[in-house]
């Protein structure tokens, strides 16, 4: 079973049911809806198509909605055509409502002239174009082009080392969050997180909007600002998971530090029971080519070896020419990376941490040790909301983990989590029946055989005596009487 999971962004190249079905069959575990592009009507149809495709082949599929955040962008250009900015020339960014050309462009952030002064660095289109502010005159910021290139419409503007007093959630984000929660999605990604309060406030809003009986949509804090790196531990404590958003992170900090930050973010998140998604330009060349570069293959493999839960594709599947081929390629790279062996894939950091005093940690450690003593690499965890399965995953013990839940929502959500293979089982009436139902579910899925031993475990379960238990179990044997 592939342990690292694949998250694919849906877009014009991939949002119909037939293509999504092909993506799932090729290896996709979760899909991303990017609220920075498209309409809610288009996104709702994509979600419906994704669910229908997954339901048709009885596969769990997680859905993540990525909020736009306070992204500063350029606005439109005359005729919608790109213009060339030549190094050494002057170029004006303005808060005035104009159509841009080769000498000027408007920005969507009207307060930007108040934030910048002479000498400030301005990066456009993920740093492909670099400007420096010469002077500010009312709504106009006269800049000198340091690194030129072709400018297209609505490209991102980054301002390294400039603090902007912008809320992490815009009015559009608040509306998009309410819409996403009404769609019963599994994950909400928050863009441009800077401090723990950003996460705390959005998580509270998610809880208020939650309609699930057990569990809720999980919050993903996108780490893409220098301030987020400075406040990393506090952010991790307040979120459910993180995304290493390497595009803006590389522009906001420095490209050479991104691999260092990636390893630090993954390590700190896993150590604190949080899942991690690694994103941006993982197979960028496959937007236009049927094969990736060798460097891209190495990049994906290194993210797997770092311990990421999932690797994410953006334009490669949203607008690229080879969405299905990209997923197949990503799957082969992950499979090859995971052949290095379970011992090397393990991340023993959780076993070296001081005692937490939490029962869940004791149970996960007990399950890992019990599996080693029993000579099995399989553990089944009964979970209502998915929380216990996520915590077991964060131990990165190398065990093949089967999550057994009565909730389709929890099953879908767990599709994104490292090393977890989720299944829905029928609701039991007693503890002993629950063990046999779990056994039957695993046998029917073909993941265990009669006579095989594995570890069964459970966290807190409503009304069942199996709660907070670790059991060595042999498939096909009668339940011992108590």
Distance CA 250, CA 261 (A): 10
Q: Among residues 3, 5, 32, 51, which one is catalytic?
A: 32
DSSP 428: P
What is the Cα–Cα distance from 379 to 342, expressed in whole angstroms? Answer: 15
Is 222 among the residues known to form the active site? yes
Given 92, 107, 278, 280, the catalytic residue: 280
Comparing C-alpha atoms, which of 178, 166, 234, 209 is closest to residue 65?
Answer: 178
Cβ neighbourhood burial of 419 (10 Å; 0-12, 13-18, 19+): buried
Rounded distance between C-alpha atoms, residue 389 and residue 403, angstroms: 6
Catalytic site residue 5? no
User: Which tokens in the block code for residue 275?
Assistant: 């899942």
CA angle 408, 410, 415 (to 5 degrees): 95
Of the candidates 3, 73, 216, 396, the residue annotated as catalytic is 73
SS3 label, residue 184:
coil
* In 272-400, alpha helices (H): 294-306, 315-318, 323-337, 342-345, 349-352, 359-374, 387-393
Phi and psi dihedrals of 107, rounded to 5?
A: -120, 155
| DSSP symbol at 409 | H
Cβ atoms of 107 and 116 within 8 Å: the answer is no
Determine whether 253 is an active site residue: no
To the query of whether residue 55 is one of the catalytic residues in this protein, the response is no
Those residues whose C-beta lies under 8 Å from the C-beta of residue 130, and which sit 6 or more positions away, are 121, 122, 123, 124, 145, 146, 147
Catalytic residue (choose from 3, 222, 225, 391): 222
Closest to 248 measured CA to CA, from 372, 382, 96, 123 = 123
Distance between alpha carbon 154 and the CA centroid of its chain, in Å? 24
The residues annotated as belonging to the active site are 32, 73, 222, 280
């Amino acid at each position: 079973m592939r342990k690292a999971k694949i998250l694919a962004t849906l877009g014009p190249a991939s949002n119909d049911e037939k293509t999504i079905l092909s993506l799932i069959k090729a290896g996709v575990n979760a899909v991303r809806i990017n609220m920075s592009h498209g309409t809610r009507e288009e996104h709702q149809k994509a979600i419906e198509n994704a669910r229908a495709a997954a339901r048709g082949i009885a596969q769990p599929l997680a859905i993540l909605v990525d909020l736009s955040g306070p992204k500063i962008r350029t606005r439109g250009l005359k005729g919608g055509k790109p213009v060339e900015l030549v190094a050494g020339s002057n170029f004006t960014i303005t808060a005035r409502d104009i159509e841009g050309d080769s000498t000027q462009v408007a920005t969507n952030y009207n307060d930007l002239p108040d934030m910048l002064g002479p000498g400030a660095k301005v990066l456009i289109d993920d740093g492909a174009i670099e400007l420096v502010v010469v002077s500010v005159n009312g709504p106009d910021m006269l800049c000198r082009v340091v690194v030129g290139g072709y400018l297209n419409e609505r490209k991102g503007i980054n301002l390294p080392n400039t603090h902007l007093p912008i809320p992490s959630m815009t009015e559009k984000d608040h509306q998009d969050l309410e819409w996403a929660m009404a769609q019963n999605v599994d994950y909400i990604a928050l863009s441009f997180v800077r401090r723990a309060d950003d996460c705390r406030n959005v998580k509270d809003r998610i809880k208020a909007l939650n309609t699930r009986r057990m569990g809720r949509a999980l919050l993903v804090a996108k780490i893409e600002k220098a301030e987020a790196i400075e406040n990393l531990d506090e952010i991790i404590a307040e979120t459910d998971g993180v995304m290493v958003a390497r595009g803006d992170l590389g522009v906001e900090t420095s490209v050479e530090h991104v691999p260092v930050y990636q390893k630090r973010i993954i390590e700190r998140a896993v150590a604190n029971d949080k899942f991690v998604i690694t994103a941006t330009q993982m197979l960028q060349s496959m937007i236009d080519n049927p094969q990736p570069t060798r460097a891209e293959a190495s990049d994906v493999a290194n993210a797997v070896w770092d311990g990421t839960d999932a690797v994410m594709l953006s334009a490669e599947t949203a607008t690229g020419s080879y969405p299905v081929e990209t997923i197949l390629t990503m799957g082969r790279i992950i499979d090859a990376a995971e052949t290095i062996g379970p011992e090397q894939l393990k991340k023993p950091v959780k076993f070296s941490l001081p005692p937490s005093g939490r029962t869940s940690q004791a149970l996960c450690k007990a399950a890992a040790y019990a599996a080693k003593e029993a000579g099995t690499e399989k553990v089944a965890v009964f979970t209502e909301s998915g929380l216990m399965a996520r915590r077991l995953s964060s131990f990165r013990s190398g065990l093949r983990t089967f999550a057994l839940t009565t909730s389709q929502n929890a099953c879908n959500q767990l599709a994104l989590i490292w090393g977890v293979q989720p299944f829905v089982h029928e609701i039991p009436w007693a503890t002993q029946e629950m063990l046999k139902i779990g056994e039957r579910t695993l046998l029917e899925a073909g993941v265990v055989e009669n006579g095989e031993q594995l570890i069964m475990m459970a966290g807190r379960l409503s009304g069942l005596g199996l709660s907070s238990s670790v059991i060595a179990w042999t498939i096909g044997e009668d339940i011992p009487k108590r």
